[in-house]
């Protein structure tokens, strides 16, 4: 059954997009469930890093589930509701207050590429393939999704990807900046990286992510809020622990306070 599941271990939340019969294509319910799942994780103080992946190795996400389009994405109101669900899921990823890692194996098309581009860090297996097929389907692409495509790929690369709807392999995607690196066991790589990040100071991670989110937005930054997040790091117990651990040449034990 299609759905979104998650596990939490050692402060790392692994979110799995599952619809294997359709290469993990996102149903309307899955878009909504993803946003809800991220809201739950955001409220959980035990979470320090999120890893996003698809079920199995054949696909990260093959895009939106086209089999639903006649009933869920046809007509003005239905299109608006569907696009709103997609936007809310991608925004929940992009504005998640802690690091989000995309572990991409196999197909990463359309809405799947949009989800990946909403993550902070992206890594791919050699089998990964990337495509923006909107022009082959005749559907329009919303402003926020197009902005993310241009911001991550640059103007000309985004234009080529969108206008041609061609498939890029993992190596080409790395050259374009879609992914940071290509690794044989992408899931193990991302899990190890997530565990490494989870050992770091949560307040520092949050302050850094808050600034990154602000830098990506069009409106002027809330400098007072950003400064407050930075100051919270310097007045925290974790800052004292970090200094003490450095002096004692041991691994710090951060508590997020």
Domain residue spans in the chain?
A: 3-197, 201-248
Residue 135: Cβ within 10 Å count = 13
For position 160, what pLDDT does the model report?
96
> What is the model's pLDDT at position 110?
92
For 3-197, give the CATH class. alpha beta
- pLDDT value of position 2: 86
Instruction: Tell me the average pLDDT across 18-30.
Output: 94
Closest CA to 64 of 45, 47, 79, 51: 79
Whole-number percent of the chain with pLDDT over 90 = 78
Q: Is the pLDDT of residue 178 over 60?
A: yes
Name the residue with tokens 């990040």: 197
Confidence class for position 7, pLDDT limits 50, 70, 90: very high
Q: Average of pLDDT values for 65-78?
A: 69
- Tell me what percent of the residues of the chain surpass a pLDDT of 70: 97
Could you read off the pLDDT of 8-17 as tens digits, one per residue? 999 999 999 9
Pair of tokens at residue 240: 């004292």
Which residue has 């809330």 as its token pair? 222
Q: Give the pLDDT confidence score for residue 69 in this predicted structure.
A: 66
Q: What average pLDDT does the structure give for the chain?
A: 92
Tokens of 30: 């899955």
User: What is the pLDDT at residue 80?
Assistant: 83
Q: How far apart are CA 167 and CA 16, in angstroms?
A: 24
pLDDT of amino acid 93: 96
pLDDT value at position 68? 76
Q: What pLDDT, on the 0 to 100 scale, is given for residue 73?
A: 56
Place of tokens 């739950």: 40
- The SS3 of residue 101 is strand
């Amino acid at each position: 059954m299609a759905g979104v599941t998650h596990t939490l271990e050692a402060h790392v939340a692994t979110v799995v997009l599952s619809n294997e019969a359709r290469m993990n294509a996102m149903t309307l319910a899955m878009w909504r469930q993803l946003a809800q799942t991220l809201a739950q994780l955001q409220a959980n103080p035990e979470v320090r890093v999120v890893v996003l992946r698809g079920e199995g190795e054949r696909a990260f996400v093959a895009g939106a589930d086209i089999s639903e389009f006649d009933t869920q994405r046809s007509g003005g109101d239905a299109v608006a509701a569907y696009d709103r669900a997609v936007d809310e899921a991608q925004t929940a990823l992009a504005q998640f207050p802690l690091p989000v890692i995309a572990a991409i194996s196999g197909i990463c098309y359309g809405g799947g590429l949009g989800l990946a581009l909403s993550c902070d860090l992206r890594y791919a297996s050699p089998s990964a393939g990337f495509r923006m097929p909107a022009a082959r389907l005749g559907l329009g692409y919303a402003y926020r999704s197009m902005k993310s495509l241009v911001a991550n790929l640059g103007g000309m690369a985004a234009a080529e990807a969108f206008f041609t709807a061609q498939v890029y392999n993992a190596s080409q995607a790395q050259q374009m900046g879609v992914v940071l690196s290509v690794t044989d066991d992408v899931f193990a790589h991302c899990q190890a990286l997530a565990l490494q990040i989870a050992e770091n100071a949560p307040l520092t991670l949050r302050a850094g992510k808050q600034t990154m989110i602000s830098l990506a937005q069009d409106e002027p930054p809330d400098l007072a809020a950003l400064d407050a997040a930075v100051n919270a790091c310097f007045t925290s117990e974790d800052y004292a622990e970090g200094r003490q651990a450095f002096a004692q040449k041991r691994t710090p034990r951060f508590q997020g306070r």
